[in-house]
């Protein structure tokens, strides 16, 4: 038996939608005056039914207004595009086949495009609606999305969906500029206010965890005790991460051929950058222990640390589990490295030369100085 709807005194019908049954806040979060004007999503549909499918009153109001504006302009009800028969799946295939020849598609983007193809693939691009985008994002957030093999994909966070929605927007805009689909208006841009309003998308969470000296000591001792049975020299890698401030994936990409013995520097190839990662090769100094650690590595491969980046992450995670250290990531060693450089007296410009940050706004996120370090 479904719960009674306040102000309606009748149960939800058997065809009640998932928002009625799974979200009690739908009927609880408004005053009686608002609820009297609010029909449940499974009620008979009006001319702008798509807007009423959205899971939040404010979201429906936003999209209802956009619908009425399009109606006054005499535009077609199909959101964002004019039908030429191409499906979202066909656009994704075109992007991965043809666009990949012009620009590099990262593993992350390729994976996101695959999820888009699985979730929205059969839909004709010209008929893609705001409601369909919202439902796709909701299923991804709830862990209800299934992949091509029929297996459920684990639920993801709001920041992940922010990135995925941006890739969908890029796909639609590029397809429009290449004549694959004729854009009348931007359906993804119309969906974003609704997605933000119901908190299905979010900005990435900024971590500020700096491991304590005691936790670092525990980890290093653990790695040293396990060194006899481990292929990966985790103690050296952890110490190098702290001494050089390099990311996990960057450490495994460093090459012997990119070391300048005279200057004691090394090159990071394809260094992380928000807009231009490809061919973004940056030089950084190997200070103190970083140089010593590099020099004692065996030269058995082109890479200084010829190991799988994910395997390093797994070893670090298991060590934290064994030691019962909670909420510590390998990337937190970069926070430790940056903070140590400032505590040693280096200036902002000098620290940025090591960490390779391009702005103080980004650099300061990695800086968590300990008050006692200010004593001279």
Q: What are phi and psi of 81, to 5 degrees?
A: -140, 165
Pairwise CA distance, residues 318 & 321, whole Å: 5
What is the DSSP secondary structure assignment for residue 355, as one 8-state letter? H
Write down the H helix ranges in 178-252: 187-197, 213-225, 234-244, 248-251
Please choose, from the candidates 258, 239, 259, 250, the residue with its C-alpha nearest in 3D space to the C-alpha of residue 309.
250
**Gap between the Cα atoms of 137 and 115, Å rounded:** 10
pLDDT, one tens digit for every residue, the chain (376 residues): 444 434 333 444 444 455 444 444 444 444 444 444 444 444 444 444 444 445 555 555 555 555 555 544 444 444 444 445 789 999 999 999 988 888 888 888 899 999 999 999 999 998 899 999 999 999 999 999 999 888 999 999 898 999 999 999 999 999 988 888 887 788 999 999 999 999 999 887 777 778 899 999 999 999 999 999 999 999 999 999 999 999 999 999 999 999 999 999 999 988 776 555 566 789 999 999 999 999 999 999 999 999 999 999 999 999 999 999 998 999 999 999 999 999 998 999 999 999 988 888 778 777 776 677 666 6
Domain 81-197, what fold? DNA polymerase; domain 1 (1.10.150)
d(CA 53, CA 48): 9
Rounded to an integer, what distance in angstroms lies between the CA atom of residue 262 and that of residue 242? Answer: 23
CATH architecture of the domain with range 213-374: Orthogonal Bundle (1.10)
Distance CA 129, CA 114 (A): 19
What is the rounded distance in angstroms from the CA atom of residue 142 to the CA atom of residue 328? 25
In sequence order, the β-bridge partners of residue 356 are none
pTM more than 0.85: no
Please give the pLDDT value at position 34. 40
User: What's the confidence (pLDDT) of residue 291?
Assistant: 96
Cβ atoms of 145 and 164 closer than 8 Å: no
DSSP 150: S
pLDDT of the residue at 44: 43
Q: CA 177, CA 170: separation in Å to the nearest integer? A: 11
3-state secondary structure of 295: helix
Question: Hey, where are the domains in the chain?
Answer: 81-197, 213-374
Q: Hunting for tokens 């391009």 — which residue is that?
A: 358
Confirm if 293 and 240 have CB atoms less than 8 A apart: yes
pLDDT for res 361: 77
């Amino acid at each position: 038996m479904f719960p009674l709807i306040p102000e309606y005194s009748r149960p939800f019908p058997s065809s009640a939608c998932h928002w009625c049954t799974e979200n009690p806040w739908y009927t609880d979060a408004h005053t009686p005056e608002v609820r009297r004007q609010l029909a449940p999503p499974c009620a008979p549909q009006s001319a702008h039914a798509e807007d009423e499918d959205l899971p939040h009153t404010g979201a429906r109001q936003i999209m209802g207004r956009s619908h009425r504006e399009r109606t006054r302009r005499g535009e077609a009800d199909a959101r964002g595009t004019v039908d030429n028969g191409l499906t979202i799946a066909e656009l994704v295939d075109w992007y991965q086949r043809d666009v990949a020849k012009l620009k590099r598609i990262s593993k992350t983007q390729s994976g996101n495009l695959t999820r888009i193809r699985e979730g929205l693939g059969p839909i004709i691009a010209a008929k893609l609606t705001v409601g369909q985008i919202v439902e796709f994002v909701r299923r991804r957030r709830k862990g209800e999305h299934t992949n091509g093999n029929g297996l459920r994909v684990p639920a993801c966070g709001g920041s992940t969906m922010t990135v995925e929605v941006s890739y969908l927007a890029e796909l639609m805009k590029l397809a429009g500029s290449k004549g694959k689909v004729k854009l009348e208006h931007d359906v993804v841009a119309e969906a974003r206010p609704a997605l933000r309003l119901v908190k299905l998308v979010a900005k990435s969470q900024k971590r500020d965890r700096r491991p304590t000296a005691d936790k670092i000591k525990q980890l290093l001792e653990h790695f040293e005790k396990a060194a006899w049975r481990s292929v990966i020299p985790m103690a050296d890698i952890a110490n190098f991460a702290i001494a050089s401030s390099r990311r996990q994936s960057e450490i495994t990409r460093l090459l012997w051929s990119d070391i300048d013995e005279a200057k004691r520097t090394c090159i990071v190839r394809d260094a992380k950058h928000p807009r231009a990662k490809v061919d973004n090769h940056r030089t950084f100094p190997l200070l103190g222990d970083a140089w010593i650690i590099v020099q004692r590595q065996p030269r058995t491969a082109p890479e200084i640390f010829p190991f799988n980046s994910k395997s390093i992450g797994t070893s670090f995670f298991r060590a934290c589990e064994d030691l019962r250290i909670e909420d510590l990531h390998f990337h937190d060693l970069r926070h430790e490295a940056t903070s140590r450089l400032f505590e040693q007296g280096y200036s902002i410009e000098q620290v940025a030369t090591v960490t390779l940050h391009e702005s103080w706004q980004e650099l300061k996120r990695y800086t968590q100085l300990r008050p006692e370090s200010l004593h001279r």
